């Protein structure tokens, strides 16, 4: 099935979950990433949700900083 990740098309297996995609994409620090699917933020306890054909997924990394 085809989805978009950060605006780029990806083919993944039907039935793949958000957590599967995090692993497939090699996210280095998954505990620090926020995921949105079709513009909706996904709570950490819902990462086992299956993705659907045409979904648009974004990984958002929040970085702290200061002086």
32 domain residue, yes or no = yes
67 domain residue, yes or no = no
Q: How far is CA 1 from CA 37, 40, 51, 53, in A?
A: 15, 20, 9, 6
pTM, two decimals, is 0.88
Q: Given phi > 0 = left and psi -120 to 50 = alpha, else beta, which region is 12?
A: beta
47 domain residue, yes or no = yes
CATH code of the domain covering residue 10: 3.10.20.30
| pLDDT surpasses 80 at 25 | yes
Structural domain containing residue 23: 2-61
Q: Please state the separation of Cα 37 from the chain's center in Å.
A: 7
Give the percent of the chain with pLDDT over 90: 81
> What's the domain count of the chain?
1
pLDDT by residue (tens digit) across 34-55? 999 999 999 999 999 999 999 9
Distance CA 43, CA 40 (A): 10
């Amino acid at each position: 099935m085809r989805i978009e990740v950060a605006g780029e098309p990806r083919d993944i297996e039907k039935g793949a979950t958000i957590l599967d995609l995090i692993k497939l994409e090699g996210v280095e620090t998954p505990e620090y990433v926020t995921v949105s699917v079709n513009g909706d933020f996904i709570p950490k306890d819902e990462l086992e949700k299956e993705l659907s054909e045409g979904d648009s997924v974004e990984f958002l990394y929040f970085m702290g900083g200061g002086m």
